[in-house]
Amino acid sequence: MSQLPLVAGADPARPLDALFVNAPLRDYDQRPRTNDYTLPVLGMAYIATYAQQAGYNVGVLDAEAHGLGITETAKLINDAAPRWAAMNLLAPTYEMSARIAAQLDPGIALMVGGHHAKAMPDRVLADPRMANLRALVLGEGELRVAALLDDEQRRRELPGVLWRDRLLGTRATGILTDKKRSAEMLGPDIDTLPYVNRAFLPQDPYQAAPTETDRRLAVSRGTPLLKGAARSGHTEANIVGSRGCPYNCTFCGAAVSANPDVLIRVRAPENIIGELDALHEEYGVTAFRFVDDLFLGVGRVIEEQMEAFTRHKIGERYVWDATGRINVLDRVSDRELDRLVANGLREVALGIESGSDRILKVMDKRINAAMTERVARRLVEHGIGVKGYFILGFPGESHDDIEATVRHVHNLWRIADNNPGDIRASVFEFRPYPGTPVWQTLVEAGNDPAALLAYGDVDLTEDGADESMRQRDEFNFSVGIQFGSVPLSRVRSTLAALTREQHDRNQGNQGAAA
C-alpha cells in the first residue's frame, strides 16, 4: 500500500480503515467531463475528518472531481483495499454508485448515507448491487461512522443505522436506549466538531479567477480589494456555517418536512471566524463561500454573525459569499446592508426560482416577483452581487408562467446594468428528488417512481448552448418528463436562450473591464 492514486487525505503507509467515495454523475469512461471544477463534498470531508481525529486511517476518492468512470473508480477502491467503502447516495448519482458497488471486492464492507439513502432506504437495501451493504446511516454521520469503524457489531446500538438481516431478509435497525446519547449521535454539537481537514478535498481551497462582482466591487469601493485580489483573483474555500433549514420549499431535499429529525443549528460566530483564520493561515484563503441555507436566511443569525465579524474586522481581511433568503433580506435595513458590505459580503445566492407568483406559491417559497426585484435592487445598489437560481418546467407550469420567468430575468439584468452590483442568472430544468414534498405529490398523481428516478443528460447544444458555456455542466440533467403544460422542447430552448444570454453578458462584462 505504498501508493493510493487520487485518494485524498489518507496515510499510504497504513492499512486503510475507510475510503469515502463520491460517485461521478456520469460514467466518464463514456463521455469525458467538459469542466474542471465541481463543488467539494464538505459533508463527506466532515465525517472523514472526525474519523481521522478518532485515530482511523481514512481517505476520500472524489470520482466526480477527477472525472473518473465507473470501472476506473471501482478498480481504485479495490486496489486501495479499505476495510470499509463509504458512499454518499444522491438521486442523480445513485445508479453510478450502485454500479460501482457491484464491482467491489466482496471483502470490502459497504456503508452508505446521503439524501437518497434517507429518502428510499428499503429500495437501497433491496438492491442486489448493494449485496455487501452492512450499514445505511440516516442523517449526520460523524459519530456513528466512527463507531462503525471501531466495531461493525456496534451498529445494533447506533440509532438511525439500518442493514439487511441476511437470514431473515428483513430490515434491521440499531437502537440506543439512552435518549440523550441517541440525540447527540443523530445531531452532534457542531461547535465541537473539528474543522474540515482540507487534505480530503482535492479542489478546495482553489485559486479563483476574478469575477465581474470582484471588478465591480473594486470600482464601487474605490480601491483594489485585498492588495490587488480583484485583479488577480482569490484563493477561495467553501464553508458551512449551520445545519438544517426551517423552510419547506417543495422541490428541495433540505425541506423541513423531509428532514423532521434534523436539528437546526448555527455555529457560534467565534467558531466560524476561527476556521476562516485557520484557512487563511494554512492556505492563504482570502475569500469564502458559505453554502448552507441559514447564514443569511434568519434575521437573528445575521445580527449575531455580523456583530462578531465587525469586532474581528473580517471585512478588512476577507471577502465572502453566502446563500440568502429573499423574504429575510427584504426586512434587512439599509444600515444592516451597509454593515454586510463593510464586513466583506461580495455576493448572495438567491433561490428566485420563478417569475410567476402562482408557481412561487405552489413551491411554498414565501416570496413574489416584486419582492425579489426589490431585494435585488437594494443589494446591487449597495454593490453586493446576486446569483439567482431559476427552475423551468415545474409541475403545473404554463406558457404564461415561463414567460413571466423570462421577463423576470430580464428585469433583474436591467436593474444590474444601472447599479454597481452584478446579477447572474443560473437556470435549470426541474427534476424531482425523492423525499421532497413535490415528489410525494407527483407519485400520488400517478407517476412511476422508477421513471422519476431515470436521470439523464440534458444536451443543450442543439438549442444553442454549447459545452463551453455550461461551466459546471454536471447540473444539467433531467428525467425527461413533461410536468407542466409546456413541451419539454420549449422548456429546454428557453433554458438554452437564457444560458446563452448570461454567457454573452459575462463575456461583455469581461471585455468592458479589460
- Give percent of the chain with pLDDT exceeding 90: 75
On whether residue 483 sits in a domain, the answer given is no
pLDDT tens-digit readout, 480-498: 999 999 999 999 999 999 9
On whether residue 459 sits in a domain, the answer given is no
Q: What is the pLDDT of residue 37?
A: 64
pLDDT band at 2 (very low <50, low <70, confident <90, very high): very low
Single residue among 400, 415, 441 that ends a domain in this structure = 441
Residue 293 has pLDDT above 50, yes or no: yes
Same domain, 209 and 353: yes
Within 10 angstroms of residue 199's Cβ, the number of other Cβ atoms is 15
Same domain, 231 and 310: yes
Domain that holds residue 117: 18-186
Residue 219 has pLDDT above 80, yes or no: no
Contact present, 236 and 40 (Cβ < 8 Å): no
Same domain, 245 and 320: yes
pLDDT band at 101 (very low <50, low <70, confident <90, very high): very high
Q: What is the pLDDT of residue 112?
A: 98
Q: What is the pLDDT of residue 510?
A: 58
Same domain, 59 and 182: yes
On whether residue 348 sits in a domain, the answer given is yes
Taking the CA atoms of residue 288, residue 294, residue 295 and residue 301 in that order, the dihedral angle to the nearest 10 degrees is -160
Core vs surface per residue 56-76: b (16+ CB within 10 A) or e: bbbbbbbbbbbbbbbebbbeb
Residue 474 has pLDDT above 90, yes or no: no
Same domain, 116 and 235: no
Q: What is the pLDDT of residue 177?
A: 85
- Over residues 445-457, the mean pLDDT reads 92
Same domain, 214 and 182: no
- Give percent of the chain with pLDDT exceeding 70: 89
CATH number of the CATH domain containing 427:
3.20.20.70
Q: What total of structural domains would you count in the chain?
A: 2
Q: What is the pLDDT of residue 110?
A: 98
pLDDT tens-digit readout, 201-215: 999 999 887 666 666
From residue 438, alpha-carbon distances to 50, 95, 112, 310, 329 in Å are 34, 22, 25, 41, 26
pLDDT tens-digit readout, 134-189: 999 999 999 999 999 999 999 999 999 999 987 777 889 999 888 889 999 999 99
Q: What is the pLDDT of residue 59?
A: 98
On whether residue 449 sits in a domain, the answer given is no
Contact present, 425 and 498 (Cβ < 8 Å): yes
Q: What is the pLDDT of residue 225?
A: 43
pLDDT tens-digit readout, 32-70: 776 666 789 999 999 999 999 999 999 999 999 999 999
Q: What is the pLDDT of residue 221?
A: 54
Contact present, 243 and 293 (Cβ < 8 Å): no
From first CA to last CA, the distance across the chain in angstroms is 50
Same domain, 403 and 304: yes
Single residue among 441, 476, 509 that ends a domain in this structure = 441
Cα–Cα distance for residue pair 485/398, rounded to 1 Å: 5
pLDDT tens-digit readout, 223-233: 444 433 333 47
Single residue among 417, 441, 465 that ends a domain in this structure = 441
At position 190, the amino acid (one-letter code) is I
On whether residue 82 sits in a domain, the answer given is yes
Same domain, 182 and 209: no
Residue 463 has pLDDT above 90, yes or no: no
pLDDT averaged over every residue in the chain: 90
Within 10 angstroms of residue 284's Cβ, the number of other Cβ atoms is 11
Same domain, 105 and 220: no
Task: Give Cβ neighbours of residue 190 (< 8 Å, ≥ 6 apart).
Answer: 242, 243, 265, 267, 271
On whether residue 484 sits in a domain, the answer given is no
Q: Which three cell numbers stand for residue 115?
A: 439524501
Question: Scanning the structure block, which residue is given the C-alpha cell 475507510?
Answer: 18
Same domain, 63 and 125: yes
Q: What is the pLDDT of residue 35?
A: 67
Cα–Cα distance for residue pair 332/350, rounded to 1 Å: 15
Residue 125 has pLDDT above 70, yes or no: yes
From residue 236, alpha-carbon distances to 229, 274, 362 in Å are 11, 16, 36
On whether residue 490 sits in a domain, the answer given is no
pLDDT tens-digit readout, 238-280: 999 999 888 899 999 888 888 887 888 999 999 999 999 999 9
Q: What is the pLDDT of residue 256?
A: 87
pLDDT tens-digit readout, 4-36: 789 999 999 999 999 999 999 888 888 777 666
CATH number of the CATH domain containing 68:
3.40.50.280
Q: What is the pLDDT of residue 27?
A: 87
Same domain, 256 and 302: yes
Same domain, 234 and 261: yes
Q: What is the pLDDT of residue 218?
A: 61
On whether residue 331 sits in a domain, the answer given is yes
pLDDT band at 467 (very low <50, low <70, confident <90, very high): low
